[in-house]
Amino acid sequence: RGVFTDFDKGDFLLEYRGDLISTEECERRQRTYRDDLKVFTFEFRFNGKFL
């Protein structure tokens, strides 16, 4: 498992270490934690699809 690609010296690389959750779970967490300023949610899209 994993992702393989070519990259150039100086390219920015990162590793996402958060939870991968459904849209429904994201909405539930947003309702639960909306007043807590220490919690953020991110939705990633690629080619028009949520990841």
pLDDT in tens, the chain (51 residues): 777 889 999 999 888 788 888 888 888 888 888 777 677 777 777 788 776
Q: What 3-state class would DSSP assign to 49?
A: strand
Q: How does DSSP classify residue 47?
A: T
d(CA 30, CA 13): 28
Which pLDDT score, from 0 to 100, does residue 8 have? 94
pTM recorded for the entire structure: 0.49
23 φ, ψ (degrees, to nearest 5): -60, -40
Amino acid at 42: F
